[in-house]
Amino acid sequence: MNIDKTRLAGKVAIVTGAASGIGAASARRLAAEGAHVLLTDIQDEVGFDLAAELDSLDGGQASFLHCNVADEAHVADAVRTAVERWGRLDIMHNNAGFGGVSGPIESTTADGWASTMDVLLTSVFYGTKYATPAMRDGGGGSIINTASVCGLQAGIGSHVYTVAKHGVVGLTRSTA
């Protein structure tokens, strides 16, 4: 597959959960196509290493910011950091996630429910909430929210994961 190294030249992206998995692949592709990318994650060492690797590519720039997406102030700071560093925000990839609490619904604790929903769904709300005005000020942009097949069909993942991913699909449709 050919990569156009100038396709996203001058564009600014934030990727949450960027230190591994889908987030790392997204950050790599955005940087390869010339975007400035702010990688955010709680995995600091891996995140800093990946940002350094991507920053060495021709065209784009990359940096890493520790960000716990379950903390609204962290997500707001990520958006503020990207805009202060590069003057705009064009792409917000709300991607951070984990398996979360699992098991029968009757043994799911309120804390397990809340912590899973905070990372998988509330973080997408925060990312959308803070990216929207920054993108509006810059003339537009794209918000990309990672869900899963569990957002469309129950019975595949745990109860809480499935509910959260259904929420991501609903929030994405609603805000679009």
Q: Which residues are catalytic?
A: 148, 161, 165
What whole-number distance in Å separates Cα of residue 57 and Cα of residue 54? 5
Closest to 35 (Cα-Cα) out of 77, 97, 92: 92
In the structure encoding, which two tokens stand for residue 158, read together? 């745990």
CB 108 within 8 A of CB 159: yes
CB 67 within 8 A of CB 77: yes
- Identify the helix (H) or strand (E) that includes residue 163: helix 159-175
Q: Give the number of other Cβ atoms within 10 Å of residue 86's Cβ.
A: 19
Residue whose structure tokens are 């805009």: 83
Specify the amino acid at residue 140: G
